[in-house]
């Protein structure tokens, strides 16, 4: 069961990566260029946006690896922690300074990925520690 949950988490994280890069980037990054901000601010935002894409790609790879390998728990734990952090940022910002974030997939998608990863960890036979 855990390998299917980790596989589903990988698929949803990949969909998030594609949406972030191909739908979100033009809507967020392009307007910054003409906003009259200093160039270093604009390019730092571009850099940060794409760091998020790279982090998401790493999450996809870890969930995919976890769905394919018998020793799948360590990368799944790390990917689940990352997605839980993404969900926390999305929900925290939406509750606080950026309620418009509720109209984006961020708070929902990363919560779903976190739940799939957490359920995968919970159902994994490797979660039970052996005592010597």
Quick check: 132 pLDDT over 50?
no
Task: Give DSSP secondary structure letters for 45-83.
Answer: HHHHHHHHHHHHHHHHHHHHHHHH-TT-HHHHHHHHHHH
Here the contacts of 89-96 (C-beta below 8 Å, separation 24 or greater) are none
Give tens-digit pLDDT for 56-104: 999 999 999 999 986 778 999 999 999 999 999 999 999 999 899 899 8
């Amino acid at each position: 069961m855990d390998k299917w949950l980790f596989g589903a988490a990988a698929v949803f994280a990949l969909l998030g990566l594609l949406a972030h890069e191909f739908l979100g980037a033009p809507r967020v990054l392009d307007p910054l260029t003409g906003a009259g901000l200093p160039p270093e601010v604009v390019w730092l935002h571009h850099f940060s946006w794409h760091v998020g894409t790279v982090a998401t790609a790493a999450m996809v790879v870890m969930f995919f690896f976890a769905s394919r390998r018998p020793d799948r728990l360590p990368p799944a734990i790390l990917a689940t922690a990352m997605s839980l952090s993404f969900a926390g940022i999305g929900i925290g910002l939406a509750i606080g300074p950026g309620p418009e974030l509720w109209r984006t997939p961020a708070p929902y998608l990363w919560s779903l990925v976190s739940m799939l990863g957490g359920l995968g960890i919970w159902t994994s036979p490797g979660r039970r520690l052996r005592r010597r």
